Amino acid sequence: MSNYCKACRYDPRRSSGGDACPVTTFYWDFFDRNYDKIKDNHRMLFQVRNYERKSSAERAAISKRADELRRSLR
């Protein structure tokens, strides 16, 4: 949609790990924290299905990375 990420050191395709894009990490962390509220919204079906495909280990890694990022912002 844009080339804002072109010169960024983060990888927008990754949601966890040191080189993961913080925006992507926070996006999936939001889904994790609000899954019960979001899962029945028919407009969110595509995103919900993508979230559900992630393993529990990947979800945990996303949450851990989001917590690390939040701590670094304080």
pLDDT band at 18 (very low <50, low <70, confident <90, very high): confident
* pLDDT given at position 1: 54
For helices 45-53 and 22-38, what crossing angle results, to 10°? 110
Predicted model pTM: 0.84
Tell me: pLDDT of 2 over 70: no
Question: What are the structural domain ranges in the chain?
Answer: 22-73
Residue 59, CB-side half-sphere exposure with 13 Å CA sphere: 13
| Residue 8 Cα to chain centre, angstroms | 17
Both tokens of 73, joined, read: 């912002």
Q: Is the pLDDT of residue 46 over 60?
A: yes
